[in-house]
Amino acid sequence: MTRSLAILTLLILFSSCEKNHDNIEPILKLYGDAYEDIGYSIARDNNGYIIAGQFTGITRNENNFIEGSRKQMAVIKTDAEGNTIWKRGLGDRSQAVGLKVITLEDGSIISTGYIIDTVTLKKDLFVVKMDADGTGPQYKIFKHAGNQFGTDIIKTQEGFMILGTTDVPKPQAGPFSGNVSGKKDILIFRIDNNLEKIYEIAHGFPGDDEGLALKADRDGGYIVVGTTDRSELDPDEQAGNNIFLLRVNEDGSATYPGIIGRTEDEYAADIEVLNDGYLVAGTIGNEETDQKGYIWRLSSDIYAPAIDEHEIVIFKTPSERLFFSIKAISKYKTNSFIMAGQSGTGSSADMLIFITDSDGNLVKDKVMVTGSTGMQVAFDVISDDDDNIIAVGKNSYENNSMISLFKFKF
């Protein structure tokens, strides 16, 4: 993406955003160069934000023409206004992507995702830990016979627990065991503070099972939300893909999952742990032009039917309904949640951010749809102590995309 295009896009994006009630202008920052740069995760630190995703490292000749490119794990440190303090492209000569980043109490940073083996061309689980100033990175690549990568990571007493995906086949030894070659399983991967492997275990049915988010549970252990093609009920009631919840113990072992699914195709995005249960955000519908944001309010009993489940209905105009997908959810203020994702598809897609109450009901006048020429999407969203909302994703035009950070207040 050229500099002039980036500036034009930025101006168009700002022109689509109304000023908030505190009269604070929204902030949009774009990071990257040419080809494909994407922001997948954002975390707060003491002075700003840490973004993880993908850079396309560019090699230019003396005439500024591109001679080569390589995808790298991106880690960017910004101040509170989104200005770059430092950035790192990680992975050396291999293609790598960061899918989740967290910050630790001492300010250090850890990110997980995948790196592609230059010989087998398979994805290997990749973890990078670095100091708060971006120096002293420790790399760890965990190789396996198949593809495996990290999608989420959480701090534990012994080090870290990584939620990932693996397609390594394994024989079936029970109803919640076994994986057919080419299908996906949930990977629970434990490492110590030095990034050394402690233990790994795969969970899943013989078909496709994919974990999307990992959170600490109320009474110890962890909760995973994901999507499965397994049905526990009549196929007419649980057709297509369904949501599942999986309780994971400190050692990585898990209980039998609870499967939710009484609508059309369901796809999990994220989960929040409540005092008395869970709030799951996702999308129903397998047609991009007919996707709908959907919320499940669940009790602490993961095998019980949902307490409440409903579509989130947003109107673009009084007569035109918005079709959209949810990518992330985060706590907001005391009893509310921010949800973010994408409305529309292709070159007409826009970044979507909205607020719901504690039960996942849309709050009136708390919807932001922002976009310009090309495609915009938010993959992750957080808030700060001043109730600012910060979303990270990508801003695409033709064959180029840049990492985007959008900060505003309703």
Residue 212 near residue 151, CB atoms below 8 Å: yes
CA dist list (Å): 8 to 36, 83, 252, 279, 369: 18, 18, 48, 39, 18
CA dist list (Å): 114 to 131, 165, 379: 20, 10, 17
Instruction: Extract the runs of DSSP E, i.e. beta strands, from 104-184.
Output: 109-116, 123-130, 138-142, 148-155, 159-166
Q: Is the pTM of this model over 0.85?
A: yes
pLDDT of residue 185: 95
Residue 129: both structure tokens together: 């830990």
Q: Report the distance separating Cα 39 and Cα 106, nearest Å.
A: 24
Residue 347: both structure tokens together: 């070159």
Q: What sign results for the dihedral spanned by CA atoms 214, 215, 217, 222?
A: positive
Contacts of 397 (CB under 8 A, 6+ apart): 1, 5, 9, 373, 374, 375
Enter the DSSP assignment of 290.
G
Q: Report the distance separating Cα 80 and Cα 288, nearest Å.
A: 34
Phi-psi region of 88 (alpha: psi -120 to 50; beta: other; left: phi over 0): beta
- Give the number of C-alpha atoms closer than 13 A to the C-alpha of residue 56, restricted to the C-beta side: 18
Q: Report the distance separating Cα 191 and Cα 164, nearest Å.
A: 13
pLDDT of residue 18: 43
CA dist list (Å): 48 to 41, 124, 395: 14, 30, 21
pLDDT, averaged in runs of 10, over the chain (410 residues):
40 40 77 92 94 88 78 95 95 92 96 95 96 94 94 97 95 81 94 97 93 94 95 68 94 93 87 96 81 94 94 87 94 95 85 95 93 87 96 89 95
Residue 247 near residue 217, CB atoms below 8 Å: yes
Please name the amino acid found at residue 381.
Answer: V
pLDDT of residue 4: 36
Q: With H, G, I as helix, E, B as strand and everything else as coil, classify residue 288.
A: helix
Contacts of 120 (CB under 8 A, 6+ apart): none
Q: What are phi and psi of 64, to 5 degrees?
A: 70, 20
pLDDT in tens, 380-410: 999 999 999 999 999 988 778 999 999 999 9
DSSP state letters, 173-241? -STT--B-TT--EEEEEEEETT--EEEEEEE--SS-EEEEEEEE-TTSSEEEEEEES--SS-TTTS-S-
Q: Cα 261 vs. chain centroid, distance in angstroms?
A: 22
Contacts of 337 (CB under 8 A, 6+ apart): 272, 279, 281, 329, 330, 331, 355, 356, 357, 358, 360
Q: Report the distance separating Cα 87 and Cα 75, nearest Å.
A: 6
Q: Report the distance separating Cα 112 and Cα 190, nearest Å.
A: 12
Q: Report the distance separating Cα 294 and Cα 269, nearest Å.
A: 10
Residue 73: both structure tokens together: 């794990």
pLDDT of residue 345: 76
- Give the number of C-alpha atoms closer than 13 A to the C-alpha of residue 224, restricted to the C-beta side: 34
Q: Which residues of 75-91 are buried (b: 16+ CB within 10 A; e: fewer)?
A: bbbbeeebeeeebbbbb
